[in-house]
């Protein structure tokens, strides 16, 4: 059970070690500029592997439960599926339901563990597999793998790496569960943190924060919803940046050169290296600055003004 690209490496890994009889994913949704109906990444990958695909509109529907029951599965393997499983569904597989989660629990339970680890400025994150229960990411832990967060990471690159890291973990966990050898380590439910699903307003850049805080935030919201600021009344999305030395009024342009545009923050400064101006393609910040005739003393606006 899975839906986005994050789930695909796990599908391949599990299929290589187990007999996958069915892939369950979200229904086709509008996608792209034309908003044409498109199937999920998991649906496409499952079809390429010759695996039957189920796209239920409602996981609580009796006919869906009956369809899943008919598989007589040993294990359900779940990765970023996008729907809550009822207790009835959780009880169907003989050896339980296993979930691959994009953090080392109990930290960052919930929908956006990868983004929140970046936003909080963590040096390390990871993945783990758990036996699912009726709570949100509260089940017993089976296997864990850790990975360093790199300076060049954003949510997309980190998620892609964690997906590859976690794929063999889920496959191994399925085998262990099938054989009755999976070690279960209970979580402390009072510990950890919760990672709420990101919303569009989370992209707003606040130049009053320190440069490092803005840098962490910008990486967390890239590619969605995008680290949003403004210049001359138009939206400007920061795609790549890094903290540097510098001082000035929050949002003040301190200068620019071939390496990028330096903007003063509440503490320190941020060098913008790649941006996406409103209505235009992504480009080097220096190229944008040249076209915008940016000058020292100009101000970049707070993002909240462009996300209403």
Q: What distance in Å separates the CA atoms of residue 104 and residue 116, rounded to the nearest whole number?
A: 12
Beta pairing class for 23-24 and 53-54: parallel
Beta pairing class for 234-244 and 269-277: antiparallel
Please tell me the predicted confidence (pLDDT) of residue 305: 84
Which candidate, 9, 18, 3, 7, places its Cα nearest to that of 174? 18
* CATH numbers and ranges of domains, the chain: 5-195 (3.40.50.170), 200-306 (3.10.25.10)
Kindly list the averaged pLDDT for each block of 10 residues, start to end, along the chain of length 308: 98 98 95 84 98 97 97 98 95 98 97 98 98 96 98 98 98 98 94 94 98 98 97 96 97 96 98 97 97 95 88
* DSSP secondary structure, 152-166, as one string: T--HHHHHHHHHHHH
Sign of the alpha-carbon dihedral angle for 37, 38, 40, 42: positive
Please tell me the predicted confidence (pLDDT) of residue 233: 93
Q: Are 95 and 177 in contact (CB under 8 A)?
A: yes
Please tell me the predicted confidence (pLDDT) of residue 98: 98
Q: What distance in Å separates the CA atoms of residue 165 and residue 118, rounded to the nearest whole number?
A: 17
Q: State both tokens at 86.
A: 């009822």
Position of tokens 């220096």? 286
């Amino acid at each position: 059970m899975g839906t986005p690209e994050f789930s695909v490496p796990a599908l391949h890994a599990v299929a290589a070690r187990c007999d996958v009889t069915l892939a369950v994913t979200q229904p086709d949704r509008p996608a792209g500029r034309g908003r044409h109906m498109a199937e999920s990444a998991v649906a496409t990958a499952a079809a390429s592997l010759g695996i039957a695909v189920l796209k239920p509109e409602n996981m609580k529907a009796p006919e869906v439960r009956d369809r899943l029951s008919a598989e007589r599965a040993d294990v359900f393997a779940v990765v970023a599926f996008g729907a809550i499983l009822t207790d009835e569904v959780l009880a169907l597989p003989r050896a339980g339901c296993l979930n691959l989660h994009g953090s080392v629990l109990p930290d960052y339970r919930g929908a956006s563990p990868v983004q929140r680890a970046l936003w909080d400025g963590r040096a390390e994150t990871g993945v783990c597999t758990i036996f699912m229960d009726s709570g949100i990411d509260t089940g017993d832990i089976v296997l864990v793998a850790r990975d360093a967060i790199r300076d060049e990471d954003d949510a997309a690159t980190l998620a892609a790496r964690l997906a590859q890291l976690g794929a063999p973990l889920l496959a191994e966990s399925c085998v262990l569960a099938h054989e009755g050898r999976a070690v279960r380590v209970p979580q402390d439910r009072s510990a950890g943190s919760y990672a709420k699903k990101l919303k569009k307003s989370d992209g707003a850049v606040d130049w009053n924060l320190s440069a490092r805080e803005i840098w962490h935030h910008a990486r967390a919201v890239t590619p969605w919803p995008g680290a949003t600021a403004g210049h001359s009344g138009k939206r400007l999305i920061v795609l790549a940046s890094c903290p540097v030395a510098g001082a000035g009024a929050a949002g003040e342009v301190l200068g620019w050169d071939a390496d990028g545009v330096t903007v003063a923050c509440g503490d320190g400064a941020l060098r913008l290296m790649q941006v996406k101006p409103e209505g235009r393609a992504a480009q080097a910040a220096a190229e944008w600055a040249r076209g915008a005739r940016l000058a020292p003393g100009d101000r970049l606006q707070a993002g909240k003004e462009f996300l209403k």
